């Protein structure tokens, strides 16, 4: 596999929270980074340990495969190590490795030859000829946001996310789970911000509909 571009994917430095997704920043990273750039392997391994979970989580969600995600994580951290001398710290180390891994994951997804005809996700609301909502709408928001998520609800959401067409799933994961900006996602997937927003909206509608069905079936 050809090496993914390490420095060409420009992403903004992460804020403390991005779209509700918490970005963990470690003040000690800069010290570990300095030591790693001087050849301290233990310092580099400490950096890896701090950021591996987040990087793995993103890759596993994107690729739907722990094995593929493990490979992407290995490739990303190895690439980061090789490019340590050039890393100037314009962004946090964790964000930099994250971008590298996201590039590798996206390359793999393109390589899987996603079908040219993009499917549409299910779950769009239905309206009458006057544009009024026909569906019964129940407000389950408080139940779903409760502390402990029901195992069956987790499965319903997991299944619905798996069923999302790939292009919609990618955008949902990158924006709503990983917290990337629209511009970052547009650059990463090679599409326009309006197109990204449209797919995100459809993905949210599909997932919302899946949760809706879960509560409707439970109530019946």
Partner 1 sequence: MNDAYTCQDCIDLLLDYVDGELAHELRARLEAHLSGCQPCEDFLKTYSATTPVCRRVLAREMPESVSSRLHQFLRDEIGKHPAGR
Residues that bind partner 1 (CB under 8 A): 19-21, 38-39, 41, 44-45, 48-49, 52-53, 56-57, 60-61, 66, 69-70, 73-74, 77-78, 81-82, 125, 127, 130-133, 135-141, 144-145, 149, 153-154, 157-158, 161, 172-173, 176-177, 197, 200-201, 204-205, 207-208, 211-212
The span from the CA of 175 to the CA of 58, in Å, is 11
Based on C-alpha coordinates, what's the Rg of the chain? 20
Q: Which is nearer to partner 1, 116 or 127 (CB)?
A: 127
The span from the CA of 69 to the CA of 53, in Å, is 11
Structure tokens, 178 = 């990983």
The span from the CA of 82 to the CA of 96, in Å, is 13
Smallest gap from residue 106 Cβ to partner 1 (A): 17
The total number of residues shown for the chain amounts to 220
Q: Which is nearer to partner 1, 11 or 153 (CB)?
A: 153
Task: Provide the 8-state DSSP code for 127.
Answer: B
Q: Which is nearer to partner 1, 185 or 200 (CB)?
A: 200
Smallest gap from residue 202 Cβ to partner 1 (A): 10
Smallest gap from residue 11 Cβ to partner 1 (A): 19
* Alpha helices for the chain (secondary structure H): 29-37, 41-63, 66-82, 93-111, 141-144, 151-163, 166-172, 182-189, 193-219
Smallest gap from residue 103 Cβ to partner 1 (A): 18
The span from the CA of 63 to the CA of 76, in Å, is 15
Smallest gap from residue 116 Cβ to partner 1 (A): 26
Q: Which is nearer to partner 1, 167 or 212 (CB)?
A: 212
Q: Which is nearer to partner 1, 113 or 215 (CB)?
A: 215
Structure tokens, 198 = 């449209």
Smallest gap from residue 93 Cβ to partner 1 (A): 15
Helix (H, G, I), strand (E, B) or coil at 180: coil
Q: Which is nearer to partner 1, 188 or 200 (CB)?
A: 200
């Amino acid at each position: 596999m050809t090496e993914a571009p390490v420095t060409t994917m420009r992403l903004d430095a992460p804020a403390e929270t991005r779209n509700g997704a918490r970005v963990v920043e470690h003040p000690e990273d800069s010290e570990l980074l300095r030591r790693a750039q001087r050849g301290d392997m233990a310092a580099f391994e400490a950096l890896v340990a701090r950021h591996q979970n987040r990087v793995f989580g993103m890759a596993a969600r994107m690729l739907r495969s722990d094995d593929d995600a493990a490979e992407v994580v290995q490739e990303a951290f190895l690439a980061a190590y090789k490019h340590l001398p050039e890393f100037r710290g314009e962004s946090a180390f964790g964000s930099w490795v994250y971008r590298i891994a996201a590039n590798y994951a996206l390359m793999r997804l393109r390589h899987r030859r996603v079908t040219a005809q993009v499917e549409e996700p299910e779950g769009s609301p239905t309206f009458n000829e006057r544009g009024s909502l026909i569906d019964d709408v129940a407000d389950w928001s408080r139940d779903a946001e409760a502390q402990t998520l029901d195992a069956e609800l987790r499965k319903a959401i997991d299944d619905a996310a798996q069923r999302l067409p790939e292009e919609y799933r990618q955008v949902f994961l990158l924006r709503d789970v990983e917290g990337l900006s629209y511009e970052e996602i547009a650059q990463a997937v090679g599409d326009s911000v309006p197109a990204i927003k449209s797919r995100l909206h459809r993905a949210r509608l599909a997932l919302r509909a899946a949760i809706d069905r879960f509560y409707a079936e439970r109530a019946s």
